[in-house]
Structure 1
């Protein structure tokens, strides 16, 4: 089953410094059609103004993956981590038993990112944070894992969830096929750039598409495109 979530159907907000679209419902007043997909419960498309950001706040029992689309995000947390993640790269935070952190745009240009929240396999655990570079050339024409709940995948950032986060870039009129793992029956995909066809349905920047129990996804770039895809139990 496929469900196109066009940008017009997404909940959104504008605080001035923050412009956000929510691919998944985040409040009782939101669009009930855009519910969670198994372990995947949040996918926010945020634009953060220069010199602003999220002040210190707390999380627990959540796996948070941030994909930076434009600019750079500066992270600082109560575990002593301090880091900067730039466009094309990824950071992950396992909130575990509890952690407080801040996320800021210290640069002069707007920061654009996808923030993806996944339920962990089990509650608690020691909080952790990590970041890694993922050159776009390495994912030209094929998907690579950016974050994974499979501890055997040393190339991806570790998350404590039954899920994996993948990314790819495609030149116009090229195609790739994605076959979800048998135990990860929920898939969500959103372009970071350009427009694509997913099993014949057009998905452009600002949109997303959910797939449940689809045996394969045939993804074709209408124009040069970049996209992020999550498989979740």
Structure 2
């Protein structure tokens, strides 16, 4: 089963510095049929104006992954961590028993991110934050594991969940395959471009909720940038 979530049908929130689309219920957007997908709870498509951002605020008991699509995001938190994550790279904040953080666009251009929240398998752990640059050439024509709590994904950023966050780029006409184990849920969104997923078509910034599909065949209709979560 592949359920396409078209960009124009996503929840919307807009203020002077933030233009957000919500794939799942979040904030003032509530859809009882879109409360999450497996362990995936939040997928926000955020556009942040230059010189603005999210001021310090708390989180607990959530794995928060930020995939930067354009521009850069600057992080700081109550543990003393500071970092700047640029387009195509990823940061992970495991909120654990509690952390305060801020995320700012310190750039002179618009920053676009996917903010992804995954429910942890265990509660009460010590919070941590990390970011990583992923060589862009390594993601051409295939899906690469960016963050993971699964055994064997040693090169990925760690999270406290039996889940994977994957990213990849496909040139028009290229295909990539992914095996989805029984009982697991996949959620795929396009940062850019258009693809087919097992013959279902997604356009720019569309999403797809996927279950009971043993194998995914993703083919680019036009040059595409893909992010996907695989979780229980």
Matched-pair contact (CA < 8 Å) for 2:197–2:218: yes
Matched-pair contact (CA < 8 Å) for 1:23–1:44: yes
- Which residue is 1:44 aligned to? 44
Q: Report SS of the residue matched to 1:223.
A: strand
4+ residue runs over 3 A deviation: none
Matched-pair contact (CA < 8 Å) for 1:148–1:156: yes
- Which residue is 2:229 aligned to? 230
Q: Report SS of the residue matched to 2:138.
A: helix
- Which residue is 1:203 aligned to? 202
TM-score norm. by structure 1 comes to 0.96
| Structure 2, unaligned runs of 5 or more | none
The equivalences for 1:2-81 within 5 A come to 2-27=2-27, 29-81=29-81
Bigger drift between 93-102 and 194-203 goes to 194-203
- Which residue is 2:97 aligned to? 97
In 2, Cα distance between equivalents of 1:18 and 1:230: 24
In 1, Cα distance between equivalents of 2:153 and 2:139: 16
Residue 119 of structure 1 and its aligned partner are, at CA, apart by 0.3
In 2, Cα distance between equivalents of 1:175 and 1:104: 35
Matched-pair contact (CA < 8 Å) for 1:151–1:158: no
Residue 8 of structure 1 and its aligned partner are, at CA, apart by 2.1
Residue 27 of structure 1 and its aligned partner are, at CA, apart by 4.7
In 2, Cα distance between equivalents of 1:96 and 1:159: 10
In 1, Cα distance between equivalents of 2:156 and 2:66: 13
In 2, Cα distance between equivalents of 1:25 and 1:143: 27
Q: Report SS of the residue matched to 1:8.
A: helix
In 2, Cα distance between equivalents of 1:203 and 1:32: 23
Residue 28 of structure 1 and its aligned partner are, at CA, apart by 6.9
In 1, Cα distance between equivalents of 2:35 and 2:60: 21
In 2, Cα distance between equivalents of 1:207 and 1:150: 27
TM-score norm. by structure 2 comes to 0.97
Q: CA distance change for structure 1 residues 94 and 200 in 2, over 3 Å: closer, same or farther?
A: same
Q: CA distance change for structure 1 residues 129 and 116 in 2, over 3 Å: closer, same or farther?
A: same
Q: Report SS of the residue matched to 1:224.
A: strand
Residue 201 of structure 1 and its aligned partner are, at CA, apart by 1.2
In 2, Cα distance between equivalents of 1:193 and 1:117: 21
Bigger drift between 141-150 and 174-183 goes to 174-183
Q: Report SS of the residue matched to 1:194.
A: strand
Matched-pair contact (CA < 8 Å) for 1:71–1:107: yes
CA shift digits 1:135-173 (9 cap, x unpaired): 221011111100000254221000001100001111101
In 1, Cα distance between equivalents of 2:137 and 2:181: 25
| Structure 1, unaligned runs of 5 or more | none
CA shift digits 1:41-91 (9 cap, x unpaired): 000000000000000000000000000000000000001100000000000
